[in-house]
Structure 1
């Protein structure tokens, strides 16, 4: 696979394969279970739905800044990047390979998950739910073995449903403005709680609540980057070069305490602008409308005081 790094190629607009090509070092990627092997969903044909030869997930090994890494990339254009039996199994297998090879001298110590998903594939719901749970377990086992698992979220589908939970389980999270992350999607909330609770057609509201800017400002992500493949690459290289943080009971307890504190401070907020106001940001009502350049400047300025994960 060609790995020319587009200087300003959009992460949002790129396909899964283009993101992998731009993210990794030139000509370093080796794909596992590629389209030519035709490992496809056995369920979609039952609903007369088209299938993809790779089931919408690219997995393999390559190099990032000269360091070996494993990478899995979802294609949000196929079935909304949803988790099914085959696509989920490919990600689980990659994470287990990282776990099992953790002691090797040349084994990758970093797994990059390029998430672009609406959650579980409804046409194979049971298999999809099982896949999500197995991915979560595999992430925990990999981290316990000293592997750093980095989620990169900036695609059109975001990371919703099981994808939102998977994102939260990773060692580090990189988001762009388009990196919406949430367990329940706007339509799901509106259907169950009514439009008064959440108007899914209010795009500005959706982006303020679930978008990458709010996720970063509230400590739900470790890096905020512009919508450029190059920016995601630079962030992944920096985070991948760090030593893996211990994944033990102490860390889990500390994370739980941090989340409880966030809930105490922001739990009664009705909109993201209230959270931004409490963070002491200048002109918080403008955060959602800032240019990318102005927000990146703000993100850099806020970094020393950022409520990091």
Structure 2
């Protein structure tokens, strides 16, 4: 008989729990050292959005994001995890303020890494101005924290992906870990189709969406530093790896990133599909990449070696 869940060791639960399917608090509970999570501005404080009630929409007492601190591998970390099951993890005023405040606290301390578990479709339409302002404040706070020596790591593998302003925030991080489900883009499939037509991008073509925006493509392109399988334990190991690898941030790193982006445009600017890019990268039988199991894909990505850990 299978042991009751409460009697299963946290490490074993982390190995058997899907990052994609878990709630924000479950992800944090299993990602961090057992029992170390301390939440800031939790549900008991009832800090809800001031805007949703006007539209007759349900509120959530943490406004869809968990922020706090804990320990990872025995060392202190700040953490933030978006709840993709509440309004698609979308940014609003309170949601954004909690993340901005966490990043500013990290900047003041200057030595504790920040792990952001991004799971978002972008900004809430009902809080458009406040949400857009929140994105700008978060991006500034990320860069200020990095300039103060803080390592800011994005972990992306949730149901909502990382779209809109979330994609911009991801681009500001020191490093990213992504799973196959971890789609990253500024404009989502439906947005592209609505504005440019189905001929430009068919949002119902799941294979197209995943090979264009999914974690495998982002890893091969060098836009993500580590590819993780879909377990909380794999993301924990990815976070520990990246904390140990991230170097100092400054003007030289930004210049190197600019050079990397220019090289990407030169090499892939005429490609029409992700498969074309993978072929240029030297991937044999590139069309088979989406079907590769995680371990085989990780080995492939290591051989390709596009990630040089410059600024995002």
Paired position in structure 1 for 2:3: none
Q: CA deviation at 1:302?
A: 3.2
1:1-309 equivalences under 5 Å are 4-5=10-11, 6-102=14-110, 109-242=112-245, 244-303=246-305, 306=307, 308-309=309-310
Q: CA deviation at 1:299?
A: 2.6
Moved more, 281-290 or 167-176: 281-290
Q: CA deviation at 1:247?
A: 2.2
* 1:200-248: CA deviation from partner (whole Å, max 9, x where unpaired): 1100000000000000000000000101100000010121134x53322
Q: Kindly indicate whether the alpha-carbon contact (under 8 Å) linking 2:96 and 2:131 is maintained by their aligned counterparts in 1.
A: yes
SS in 2 for 1:113: strand
Q: Which blocks of at least 5 consecutive residues in structure 2 are unaligned?
A: 1-5
Q: Kindly indicate whether the alpha-carbon contact (under 8 Å) linking 1:173 and 1:221 is maintained by their aligned counterparts in 2.
A: yes
Q: Kindly indicate whether the alpha-carbon contact (under 8 Å) linking 1:58 and 1:74 is maintained by their aligned counterparts in 2.
A: yes
Q: Kindly indicate whether the alpha-carbon contact (under 8 Å) linking 2:122 and 2:164 is maintained by their aligned counterparts in 1.
A: yes
2: distance between equivalents of 1:250 and 1:95? 23
2: distance between equivalents of 1:209 and 1:308? 21
Paired position in structure 2 for 1:105: none
2: distance between equivalents of 1:149 and 1:307? 17
* 1:224-274: CA deviation from partner (whole Å, max 9, x where unpaired): 0101100000010121134x5332222112111111110111122111000
Q: CA deviation at 1:281?
A: 0.7
Q: CA deviation at 1:290?
A: 1.7
What TM-score comes out, normalization by structure 2 length?
Answer: 0.93
